[in-house]
Chain A
Amino acid sequence: MTSGWSEDAILIATIVSWGVIGSGIAQTTVYMLQLLIAGYALSRRPPVARSSLLWHRYGDVAPPIALIVPCYNEALNVVESVHSMLALEYPNFEVIVVNDGSKDDTLARLVEAFRLVQFSRPFDETLNHAPVRGVYSSPLNERLVVVDKANGGKADAQNAGINVSRAPVFCVIDGDSILEPDALMRASQPFIDDPERVIAVGGTIRIANGSLIENGRVREIHLPTRILPLLQVVEYLRAFLMARLAWSRINTLLLISGAFGVFRRAEVVAVGGFTKGSMGEDLDLIIKLHRHMIERGKKYRIEFIPEPVCWTEAPESLKVLARQRSRWQRGALEVFFRYRTMLFNPRYGRVGMLGFGHMLVVDVLGPVTEVLGYILMPAFWLLGLLSTEHFLAFTALVFTYGVAISVCSLILEETELKRFPRARDLALLTAAAVFENFGYRQLNNFWRVKGYWQYLRADTNWGEMTRTGLSTAKK
């Protein structure tokens, strides 16, 4: 089969193919490990079904929480989002909306809807941020505080919100997200169970496209009717239910999504808050927290709860999704190289070994080797430089193992959580879990390689995240 080619060409093809296969084996091993740990974690801590039980159990001892909502050009959704946040079921919380110099009428809509009046509120100035132009309160609801500030980016707005907050625990969410009514109650549970050690908690983010949304609440859960958001549902399940839950179990969680995260204020202030100008400010913060606590020899936990707590709108067009994925990749690379000294550094224990090892395999090497594989492996095989065994092994690693991992995360969902209401949803998701490995995964990797290129060119443009708004029912 390989006759006609020089030994050098065959040797090069063999080395490249083993590099690609080795990277694929490493990634698949990480995913399989995550599946096993996540399955164990879910079996050890099944979720609490009813929120009234949580209230009964924890209502008296739940810590005060400040809900920080950075907004930039969110006029479309902001009033409805704030209404739903103010209606959350939690005994002691305030909502701090930070208008980050929006160019649209975000502030005007808030002023009108909540009859905001400017007032003076002293606040901590430990974290730096762009100047605050005014702080507003509402005579309609004493829980609401609106901070209007000059534009400085999401991290800057979050830092301003942290400064203004007075609660020992704060929660950051995106302005266009929808929280479950009991989200804070669920997310506060680790802070009640282990208040000394728990410094951050993340929760599962779910995709709201297709669901019936009324008055800022998800009334009926439906799957998206369009293919791209549907594939992202499977992707999110895998990311949250498998990866984050697994790493949380062994206290190696490196990412709490910026769409929903609860943090102990003192530790976040101690690490300087969110890093401004970062593409992956959520990832950056968690790594800073790990580093801070480990370097000071403090015992700590960064937890993840598997229950869905927050709904978000997934991109429905290839163009927007491509921008989002490229940006995520740039963020991951930026943070990885910023804290590269933690990689395989025994001082940082599991975080350095497993957490950063995972980033190296999945975020740094993974996309490049996989895309190289898409191009070179079929070419080598067709040219007769590579044996069929090599080609099949590559195919297994980029297609069939992907099917097994995606379907297994669905199995976890169904055996432990059962959040999808209908059997036909499960059937559709199973089909999506298979289908996503034949085209969507490859497309994603191309976008990630594009993100790689943008990172190398130091392109810091976020790109516009076009949203159609979640307030409209059933898309």
Chain B
Amino acid sequence: MLWAIWTVSLILSLASLAVMVGLILKRVHSERRTARDASLRKRALSGLVRFSGDRDAAALDEALAGAPMLIVADAASEFMALVRGDDRNAVVAALAVRGLPAFLAQELKARNEPRRLHAAEMMAEFPVEIACVPLMASLVRDRAREVRIAAAISLADVGALPPLSVLLGKIGVRGQRSRRLVELFRKFPAAQAGELRAYAIDEQGTPFVRAAAIEALSTTGGIEDGTILPALAEDPSPDVAAAAIRALGRIGHPDAVGPVIRAMTNQDWEVRAEAAEAARRLGVRDVLTPLIGLLEDDSWPVRYAAAKAVRELGDEGLDFLRALASSDTSRSQRTASLVLSEGIAA
């Protein structure tokens, strides 16, 4: 055994050194290639910039000549992030003719996850008739959830989003926690907003996904019905209730006052903090008394949000805070005096 320890150590050391020498030699070779690639990329980027101005297809071909498609894709990605409108459309059309979508479709099958992710995002630049099939294939087949979400976002961008039930089935809701879901839901077309609303109110749905749906709908104006959000604000899931309260505050719905006041007694501190923040946005007198109750809350973020909301409720709120600040020392007295002393920069 002792000899084995010695022998194995020698073999491992020599093998690792041999591999490292191989990697160094490979790097020497690739340093030359890297310099060449940088030059090709620069030329491709310049060609794209020129083409967006003069639409000279022959000059673009010359600029892209000899550049591997990976370099063209990289340069195109950087350029398209900077350009909009007709110029962008012209560049996209030119790249489509030169085979970039076919290359991206291949990239969607690459072993490397970031490459697949990037290809899924770039595919959104191309028209639906080009992008839809490879993106759907990626949504259905890719083993990485992040890539499936990216494919779904791109499908939304090109206007080929499948129904929500299909989408969630392919992305997978079990263990789903990515905040990118909010971004995906925000891109839902108006025609499909009903599906999101239905999922948001479905008590069997995954709370995280329901909360993401509520958040997205509240920013796109898809959930201004007077009954849905108040009901969701009473949901047993803190995720859903907090998202609904936040949405009520953001929308400023007239029926929001009751649910917001009730949420101030929720067991979850994040829901109570959202309720105080929503009350600040609503700015109606009815919330003053329950907000004052929150000044004694165990959680600092809740106390602070409540004190800020009281301060912004006009003279009555300010007078109350001043009286509280000059009363006997207590948790609410301290919070009131701190919020009153807060300067503009806070």
Contact = CB atoms under 8 A, between A and B. Distances in A.
Interface of A: 21, 25, 44-49, 52-53, 56-58, 60-61, 117, 119-126, 137, 142, 166, 192-197, 387, 389-390, 392-393, 395-397, 400-401, 403-404, 407-408, 410-411, 414-415, 422-423, 426-427, 430, 434
A401 B338 contact: no
B143 to A, nearest CB: 11
B304 A48 contact: no
Contact of B343 (A61, A119, A389): A119
Interface string B1-25: 0110110111011011101110110
B73 to A, nearest CB: 12
Interface string B127-138: 000000000000
Given A193-B177, A194-B178, A430-B17, A390 B2 contact: yes
B20 A195 contact: no
A21 to B, nearest CB: 8
B6 A393 contact: yes
Given A57-B150, A395-B6, 17 more contacts: A21-B2, A44-B113, A53-B121, A120-B341, A120-B343, A125-B300, A125-B334, A166-B304, A193-B177, A195-B179, A389-B6, A392-B3, A393-B2, A396-B8, A400-B13, A404-B9, A414-B27
A169 to B, nearest CB: 12
Contacts of B23: 411, 414-415, 426
Contacts of A44: 113
Interface size band for B: 35 or more
Given A46-B113, A414-B23, A415-B23, A422 B31 contact: yes
Interface string B26-46: 011001000000000000000
B338 A122 contact: yes
A7 B178 CA distance: 67
B180 interface: yes
Given A392-B3, A430-B20, A196 B177 contact: yes
Given A392-B6, A411-B19, A137 B343 contact: yes
A401 B121 CA distance: 44
A121 B346 contact: yes
Given A121-B342, A403-B17, A422-B31, A195 B177 contact: yes
A400 B78 contact: no
Contacts of B178: 192-194
Interface of B: 2-3, 5-6, 8-10, 12-13, 15-17, 19-21, 23-24, 27-28, 31, 77-78, 81, 112-114, 117-118, 121, 146, 150, 177-180, 182-183, 186, 208, 300-301, 304, 307, 334-335, 338-339, 341-346
B342 A122 contact: yes
Contacts of B335: 122
B16 A403 contact: yes
9 contacts: A46-B112, A47-B114, A57-B180, A119-B344, A121-B343, A195-B177, A390-B2, A403-B16, A426-B27
B6 A52 contact: no
A56 B146 contact: no
A400 B300 contact: no
The binding surface of chain B is classed by DSSP as helix
B13 A407 contact: yes
The binding surface of chain A is classed by DSSP as helix
Nearest to A426: B24
A61 B182 contact: yes
Closest 4 CB pairs of A and B: A122-B338, A396-B9, A137-B345, A119-B343
Contacts of A401: 9, 12-13
A60 B8 CA distance: 52
A408 B2 contact: no
Most central of B24, B113, B150, B342 by chain A CB within 10 Å: B24
A223 to B, nearest CB: 14
B31 A423 contact: yes
B177 A48 contact: no
Given A137-B343, A422-B31, A49 B20 contact: no
A411 B10 contact: no
A395 to B, nearest CB: 7
Nearest to B212: A61
A391 B148 CA distance: 56
Nearest to A410: B20
A119 B304 contact: no
B208 A407 contact: no
A403 B14 CA distance: 9
Nearest to A198: B177
Contacts of A166: 304
Contacts of A56: 81, 121
Nearest to A142: B345
Most central of B6, B17, B113, B118 by chain A CB within 10 Å: B6
A397 B5 CA distance: 8
Contacts of B307: 122
Contacts of A426: 20, 23-24, 27
Nearest to A118: B343
A84 to B, nearest CB: 22
B9 A122 contact: no
Contact of B10 (A61, A396, A407, A423): A396
Nearest to A434: B17
Contacts of A414: 20, 23, 27
A180 to B, nearest CB: 17
Given A46-B113, A194-B177, A404 B12 contact: yes
Contact of B16 (A52, A387, A407): A407
Given A61-B179, A193-B177, A430 B24 contact: yes
B28 A423 contact: yes
Contact of A423 (B9, B24, B301): B24
A377 to B, nearest CB: 12
B224 to A, nearest CB: 22
A367 to B, nearest CB: 20
A7 B326 CA distance: 85
A128 to B, nearest CB: 14
A48 B31 CA distance: 21
Nearest to A400: B9
